[in-house]
Structure 1
Amino acid sequence: MKQQVWKKGVGAALTLVVALSAAGCGKDAKEAVPSSAPNQGTEKGKPVELTMHMHYGDRYIYDNNFPVFKEAAKRTNVTLKGTASQTATNSKEMFNLMMVSGDIPDIVHYNVKGDFNKYGSEGAFAPLNELIDKHAPNIKAFLEQRPDVKKFATAPDGKMYFLSFVPDGLVAKGWFIRQDWLKALNMQQPKTVDELYQVLKAFKEKDPNKNGKADEIPYFNRVNKGGAQDLLLFWNSYRGIYADQGKVKYGPYEANYETAVANIAKWYKEGLIDPEIFTRGAKAREVLLGDNVGGVSHDWFSSTAGYNDTLKDKVPGILFAPMAPPASSDGVVREETKRATVSESGWAISASNKHQVETIKYFDFWFTPEGRRLMNFGIEGVHYDLVDGKPKFKDSLLTGSKPVNEALQADGAQMEVGFHQDFAYEEQWTNKTALAGVKEYNEKKYPIEQFPVLTFTDGEKKKLDSIMKSIQTFTDEKFQKWVLGSEPVAGNFEKFRQQLKEMGLDEVISIQQAAYDRYMK
């Protein structure tokens, strides 16, 4: 493919319109940089103002008044000026329009590595490899420590066009159960899927909330589309693309999927699953726990355990506690979620940026100990105090009206730019119930390895986009029909598999396998 020449102006915009149309538009608090790494401090250069696009959902929109970035400007002499509208709502559309226009700011933040690689290889973004080698010793040292991060961000042409946000910690979600209900019924935490079934039946039939009504909802989940799918793994089935001993598969096509869906449908018919599992939405925890009717769920540790604190007066004695994942039908204890070791979110330097050296040095600041601390914990004296050399959040932050992570993001900290997160920031606002669950899931290694985010060629991506969207919609619709009982899975599964093949599943698997093999090599 001929390399696209990127510049401001109508010519570039028209070329890109055509192109886009064709595309279908738990660790300790160690510092990331070893003490022997060069440039541990911050070298201030001449004052520079750089423009930046950052619009990612409703929490990651750059504000020129972010206190954390103003503090960084004092230490680096680099000031960022946001270009994304604070009132716009569609991040992907904004990114696409920006790229079509050819008028690209100095720094671009986004969350799709395939787009970073695509537009980088076409000339829109500057390759970072040489810039890092020459001018960013802290990033260079970090990438030497974490070759997985460099591998993840390297495009098929061997160049890095963006610097990733690197999360910290291992576990993401876990299983929660009303321990107070178990105690009321003189039952133990379920160790297997069959025991879980018996516990859910008891929650449904034996009035554990002691209000004389059959109003308990044994299993609930706040994710409409995926909440019921969280149960699939109990029958060793997967909801999407995964790898089995190096072979790429699509979970709903495999034989175990029929068994899993049949059992989930049985549980639903017996009233063990929230009748509004596909529609209740984000307030499910708040509503069902608050009404003292929710029994079991699968969700994030910190926020879910927090309901024990916020509802203690409304629901006296509530103990919604983490439990080990019940063993699946094959006898294996596993948790399907795991925090990503590296994220698609990050930032890139535009090829038109006239201050690329100053920009990479600015990126490097966030990998120094002081820069990493600033992005993780905010500003000393405002958000935290140093106690025995470690940041300790102020009580005003820990007890404020907003969750700590949202309060920090409101001031510009914990933004998903290129930096290395520190799980110690989360530990401080996570209650003991959640921390106990995190510790168990970590120590016993319940989370399974995640299927990697792969890099595809333009041709592969076009094929996947054209085929996989319809396959996913078809699969989701069938799953919902089968679970709700509007169509039996028995007698219809082979027809479903044949329809997947007719829709192009074999080609999807072939493309995914080729990309997976490239990644593993």
Structure 2
Amino acid sequence: MKKNHLLYISLLVLLFVLTACNNSSAQEPEENESGTESLENVNTEGFPIVKEPIDLTFFTGKYEGNLDDYEETLVFKTYAEKSGINVNFDEVPFGTLTEKRNLALASGDYPDVLYSARIPSADLYNYGKQGVFIPLNDLIEEYAPNFQAVMEKHPDIRKGLTMPDGNIYSLPSYYSPEFMPMLIGKPIWVKGSWLEQLNMEEPKTIDEFYAYLKAVKETDLNGNGEHDEIPFSATSTNQIIDSIKGSWGIGTRGVGNKYVDVAPGTDELRFIRTDERFKEVLQFVNKLYSEGLIDSEIYTMDDTKLNAKGTNGVLGSAIVPNPETVFSGQDDYIGLGAMEGPHGDKLYSHLKSPLVHVGAFAITNNNQHPEATIRWIDHFFGEEGATLQFMGVEGETYEVTEDGSMQFFEEFTNNPDGLTMDQALSPYVTWMGGSYPGYVQEKYFKGSESLPSSLAVGEKVAPNAPEEIWNSFNYTEEELQFKQSTASDMHTYISEMEAGFVSGDIPFSEWDSYVEQVESMGLDQYMEIEKAAYKRYQES
């Protein structure tokens, strides 16, 4: 009886151990190994990509204006037939994307690919080290000739994608640096007809811009007998700061890193936000605000309100993508280039990184067909695939004009049912809203950035653009801990103080004590980490 009792206990213990082991292994991501059968099914070049059709599931970030079933759109129906790969897109609205992506990755319940999923660099690195995202270095070299060619043409891509362990875990959304309006995004626009009424030239210096804003405030330019003209509007004061700080030589590497750049004439990193020149930027914006030259509703502004004011014809200047597309009936705005500042600086620093979304496409360890998958996405980084992605199918969505350029049919550009171009295009393509993995060039991207007025801004900006535009740096696990704790507290304090300086709630006599406080919060360690990350970035 005693022996049976001991045997029973032993069996219970063994069962408990086996269950614990099974549960533990279920939570640990398994290393991805595509089988021989999967490899033999892949054609190394040409189409179809696979000899026998396969199915893949994508966790997909979705712009609310796009269709719910991406696989039913013209672009992906066409590509499924061509490639032999049937993709089921599990769409998640951008509004809840971060939460659902984090839940999926933490739970282990994730599909073959994360597509248009806006994965931050820190998550790419952390989940890559855990084996959730597979390294793509070898796959790119062997199966992605189009993406290889793009990286060779634009070496900054490799710098931005390479994590501290030397691996690449994602493919990006990348804007060609030659397509300047895409990097500008939202220039400062001034109302050309009002310049003419005031007998003023397009502002070329920061002082001329200030003089224009003053004249708008003091003149009934719309002739309604009221002083309802708003000299300058945007969705935030930070947007204004980023747009003009180049006039003080701040932002020498674009807006990809808002806290450090390289001091002019050196190769030394500079912390921007305590620099004396940056103080002058804040003083100038405070001057605009205190004199009523900035929209009084700036602190509650959003795109909808801003666009409504522009449509009403009361804005002397604004920071928007293009007034022709967001201000109804207002086509007389001129986009400004770099404006010379008080010290002779004429830098247009409001240029974002071409590597817009580092984590636009990542393959998980659940994917049994990584070779076929990398070939699938590589097509969109080549000429034919990019044309399909952005323009659709010739004869169905666009035509090639006599000069060789591509043009959407009028049913999209001037829809007879009153649909916007985005709405009319939604059954055909999915690039609206951004975040897609792909390579954007002017010749096949027909958004507002391709309008003649936007291209004219790009031509003005080019001579005064930064000599190099940084992507965001990538950080080690230890560095990330500092960035997410001490550095985060520092950033919060800086934002609060800057808001106070601009609004006038905090006098500039407090500037020195503000700088001392930032330094005491760990600025030296902050800069050491940035220098280490910058060194790795240069060496990638």
Equivalent residue number for residue 4 of structure 1: none
Q: Does 1:361 align with 2:384?
A: no
Pick closer, same or farther for the CA change 1:81–1:10 going to 2, 3 Å: farther
Q: Does 1:47 align with 2:53?
A: yes
| The structure with more helix, counted as a fraction of residues | 2
1:102-141 alignment, distance < 5 Å: 102-109=108-115, 110-111=117-118, 112-141=120-149
Cα distance, 1:516 vs structure 2:
0.7
How many residues get paired?
A: 482
Equivalent residue number for residue 512 of structure 2: 494
Would you say the 8 A contact 2:243–2:350 is kept in 1?
no
Cα distance, 1:466 vs structure 2:
0.9
Pick closer, same or farther for the CA change 1:195–1:395 going to 2, 3 Å: same
- Inter-partner Cα distance in structure 2 for 1:461 and 1:432: 43
- Give secondary structure in 2 for the equivalent of 1:218: coil
Encode CA deviations 1:198-231: one digit per residue, 9 max, x unaligned. 2211111122222222222111112465335534
Would you say the 8 A contact 2:354–2:471 is kept in 1?
no
Encode CA deviations 1:352-372: one digit per residue, 9 max, x unaligned. 211122212212332343322
Cα distance, 1:410 vs structure 2:
6.0
* Code of the aligned partner of 1:399: N
- Give secondary structure in 2 for the equivalent of 1:327: coil
Encode CA deviations 1:264-293: one digit per residue, 9 max, x unaligned. 212211111111222122134423222322
Encode CA deviations 1:404-463: one digit per residue, 9 max, x unaligned. 456546644326443222222345754433332233323x34456433311100110111
* Code of the aligned partner of 1:123: G
- Inter-partner Cα distance in structure 2 for 1:58 and 1:463: 35
Equivalent residue number for residue 155 of structure 1: 163
Which is further off, 176-185 or 471-480? 471-480
Pick closer, same or farther for the CA change 1:13–1:263 going to 2, 3 Å: farther
Equivalent residue number for residue 70 of structure 1: 77
Q: Does 1:311 align with 2:329?
A: yes
Equivalent residue number for residue 384 of structure 2: 370
Equivalent residue number for residue 511 of structure 1: 529
Which is further off, 53-62 or 147-156? 53-62
* Code of the aligned partner of 2:367: N
Equivalent residue number for residue 467 of structure 1: 486
Of 393, 400, 411, which residue of structure 2 is paired with 1:379?
393
* Code of the aligned partner of 1:349: I
- Give secondary structure in 2 for the equivalent of 1:103: coil
Cα distance, 1:80 vs structure 2:
1.1
- Give secondary structure in 1 for the equivalent of 2:374: helix
Encode CA deviations 1:372-420: one digit per residue, 9 max, x unaligned. 2111212333321234565321111112355545654664432644322
Pick closer, same or farther for the CA change 1:264–1:372 going to 2, 3 Å: closer
Equivalent residue number for residue 264 of structure 1: 285
- Inter-partner Cα distance in structure 1 for 2:221 and 2:23: 68
Q: Does 1:167 align with 2:179?
A: no
Cα distance, 1:518 vs structure 2:
1.4
Q: Does 1:83 align with 2:102?
A: no
Equivalent residue number for residue 433 of structure 1: 453
- Inter-partner Cα distance in structure 1 for 2:193 and 2:466: 26
Pick closer, same or farther for the CA change 1:154–1:62 going to 2, 3 Å: farther
Cα distance, 1:122 vs structure 2:
2.1
Cα distance, 1:52 vs structure 2:
1.0
Equivalent residue number for residue 283 of structure 1: 304
- Give secondary structure in 1 for the equivalent of 2:388: helix
- Inter-partner Cα distance in structure 2 for 1:196 and 1:247: 32
Pick closer, same or farther for the CA change 1:479–1:393 going to 2, 3 Å: same
* Code of the aligned partner of 2:461: Y
Which is further off, 460-469 or 323-332? 323-332
* Code of the aligned partner of 1:47: P
Which is further off, 130-139 or 397-406? 397-406
Which is further off, 248-257 or 430-439? 430-439
Pick closer, same or farther for the CA change 1:170–1:158 going to 2, 3 Å: same
Q: Does 1:479 align with 2:479?
A: no
Pick closer, same or farther for the CA change 1:382–1:333 going to 2, 3 Å: same
Unaligned runs of 5+ in 2: 1-21, 30-43, 252-257
Equivalent residue number for residue 11 of structure 2: none
Pick closer, same or farther for the CA change 1:467–1:369 going to 2, 3 Å: same
Report the aligned-residue RMSD.
2.9
- Inter-partner Cα distance in structure 2 for 1:307 and 1:350: 39
Pick closer, same or farther for the CA change 1:356–1:138 going to 2, 3 Å: same
Would you say the 8 A contact 2:57–2:88 is kept in 1?
yes
- Give secondary structure in 2 for the equivalent of 1:440: helix
- Inter-partner Cα distance in structure 1 for 2:96 and 2:248: 38
- Inter-partner Cα distance in structure 2 for 1:434 and 1:131: 38
Equivalent residue number for residue 395 of structure 1: 410
- Inter-partner Cα distance in structure 1 for 2:212 and 2:26: 60
- Inter-partner Cα distance in structure 2 for 1:154 and 1:144: 14
* Code of the aligned partner of 2:180: L
Cα distance, 1:108 vs structure 2:
1.5
Pick closer, same or farther for the CA change 1:44–1:176 going to 2, 3 Å: same
- Give secondary structure in 2 for the equivalent of 1:219: coil
- Inter-partner Cα distance in structure 2 for 1:393 and 1:209: 36
Encode CA deviations 1:232-266: one digit per residue, 9 max, x unaligned. 44334455332323322332211122222222212
Would you say the 8 A contact 2:161–2:170 is kept in 1?
yes
* Code of the aligned partner of 1:391: M
Equivalent residue number for residue 457 of structure 1: 476
Would you say the 8 A contact 2:47–2:83 is kept in 1?
no
- Give secondary structure in 1 for the equivalent of 2:87: strand
Q: TM-score, normalised by structure 2?
A: 0.81
Pick closer, same or farther for the CA change 1:396–1:224 going to 2, 3 Å: farther
Equivalent residue number for residue 296 of structure 1: 317
Cα distance, 1:56 vs structure 2:
5.8
Would you say the 8 A contact 1:12–1:101 is kept in 2?
no
